Amino acid sequence: MQVPFLDLRLHHEPLMPELLEAFRQVTDTSAFAGGPFVSSFEREFALYCGTQHALGVGSGTDALWLSLQALGVGPGDEVITAPNTFMATAEAISLCGARPVFVDIDERTYTMDPAELEANITLRTQAIIPVHIFGQMADMDAILAIGRRHGTPVVEDACQAHGAEYKGRKAGSLGVAGCFSFYPGKNLGAFGEAGAVTTDDPELRTKVQMLRDHGQASKHLHSSISWNARMDGIQGAVLSVKLRRLAVANAARRTNARLYDELLADEPRVIRPALVPHNVHAYHIYAVRVQDRDQVLQRMAAGGVKCAIHYPVPIHLQLAYSFLGLGPGSFPVAERCAQEFLSLPMYPELRPEQIRFVVETLKESLRN
């Protein structure tokens, strides 16, 4: 048996009639950049997340960058985030001219440790970006309370957490802004690059709307220098079709995660993702932790199971951030986890027999 890490074709095949109809509508109206299909998707996605507004942008990276720009983050400022994330979280901070400040993570949830956050807030801290890594939501009550105490806005990096919940509230609806990526492999994926900012704040909404479109306040009138970060019409149309399947697809991911959990329960050499009682995990990634991870990964591949690593090098150890002077040992939990993380195949269409095969192959790969 061969188990791929991800199979998007399987996900799209049953949607083809609807997707082709969506392409036809976009083509018929030539609504290619922004436009009505993006607006409809924005309304639907805001409703799904439980926010007043959602704004379609070019990517998750754009969503993060525009949210920080809209909050006025700039040179001399600091923004606190976690080191175990995708490069984009830190890049968005740097592209505003601000400095990323990393804090270590909780060893159970792999999300920002609120005690570390509190200890690293300074007068320069202009925003806090918890990352709902793998689809597990960060400890939002504690993080929001710290933000409130210091008057610092919290921006959620929800790029891996479409549909995840914290105490009954959806990712993207707790901070002042929620940032989403619709990169094809995410739980909700476009047919190319796309992203969104969710918010309840009318002022933030207006700012992001302007900033995503060359700082344009009204036609031909530009009140600031910004960039083109709009969403394609075709992506809006595709995302509307796929959003209707998201709840069912996420439920299938959770069913698959339960089976992985059950089959791995008797394996002491594997640390499974934590089940946090007040969280609904979106399982963008089902990451376990094992010793000798690289060897296990290779043996799995030889046995027909494609795994991945999210992420082998924490951001503070990337060459690009060497100027921060944060060497190995700066964030022991994040660094240890980065050496042990192994992402098993996880998607809604994964079949029980495939999951059994993945677990058998994993147990064999751990031996000797």
Ligand X SMILES: *Cc1c(COP(=O)(O)O)cnc(C)c1O
Scanning residues 255 to 284, which ones bind ligand X (CB under 6 A)? none
| Member of 51, 81, 84, 89 binding ligand X (CB under 6 A) | 89
Question: Of the candidates 163, 175, 195, 273, which one interacts with ligand X according to CB under 6 A?
Answer: 195
Q: Residue 104 Cβ, how far from ligand X at the closest point, in Å?
A: 17
How many residues bind ligand X (CB under 6 A)? The answer is: 15
> At closest approach, how far in Å is the CB of 155 from ligand X?
11
Query: In this complex, which beta carbon is closest to ligand X, that of residue 89 or of residue 343?
Result: 89
Q: Which is nearer to ligand X, 172 or 195 (CB)?
A: 195
Give the residue, chosen from 37, 86, 283, 357, that forms a contact with ligand X under the rule CB under 6 A.
86
* Least spacing, CB of residue 251 vs ligand X, in Å: 21
Measured from the CB atom, the residue of 61 and 240 that comes closer to ligand X is: 61
Binding mask 109-128 for ligand X (x = CB under 6 A): --------------------
- Our finding on whether 183 is near ligand X (CB under 6 A) is yes
Name which position in 51, 85, 109, 198 contacts ligand X (CB under 6 A): 85
Q: Which residue in the set 22, 57, 70, 131 belongs to the binding site for ligand X (CB under 6 A)?
A: 131
Q: Is 105 in the site for ligand X (CB under 6 A)?
A: no
CB of 60 to ligand X, least distance (A): 2
Query: In this chain, which of 73, 159, 239, 243 binds ligand X, going by CB under 6 A?
Result: 159
**Rounded-to-integer distance, Cα 177 and Cα 69, Å:** 12
Output the 3-class SS for the chain.
CCECCCCHHHHHHHHHHHHHHHHHHHHHHCCCECCHHHHHHHHHHHHHHCCCEEEEECCHHHHHHHHHHHCCCCCCCEEEECCCCCHHHHHHHHHCCCEEEECCECCCCCCECHHHHHHHCCCCEEEEECECHHHCCCCHHHHHHHHHHHCCCEEEECCCCCCCEECCEECCCCCCEEEEECCCCCCCCCCCCCEEEEECCHHHHHHHHHHCECCEEECCEECCCCCECECEHHHHHHHHHHHCCHHHHHHHHHHHHHHHHHHHCCCCCCECCCCCCCEECCCCCEEEECCCHHHHHHHHHHCCECCECCCCCCHHHCHHHHHHCCCCCCCHHHHHHHHHEEEECCCCCCCHHHHHHHHHHHHHHHCC
Of 196 and 305, the one with the shorter C-beta distance to ligand X is: 196
The residue among 92 and 333 lying less far from ligand X, judged by its C-beta, is 92
Q: How far is CA 119 from CA 80, 93, 154, 155, 316, in A?
A: 11, 20, 16, 19, 18
Rounded distance, CA 283 to CA 186, Å? 10
Q: Which of 152, 160, 199, 279 binds ligand X (CB under 6 A)?
A: 160
Check binding of 136 to ligand X (CB under 6 A).
no
Residue (155 or 355) nearer to ligand X, CB: 155
**Interacting residues with ligand X between 139 and 158 (CB under 6 A):** 157
Binding to ligand X (CB under 6 A) within 40-69 occurs at 59-61
Is there a contact between 331 and 273 (Cβ–Cβ < 8 Å)?
A: no
Question: Please, which residue, 331 or 357, has the CB nearer to ligand X?
Answer: 331
Rule CB under 6 A: which residues touch ligand X?
59-61, 85-86, 88-89, 131, 157, 159-160, 181, 183, 193, 195
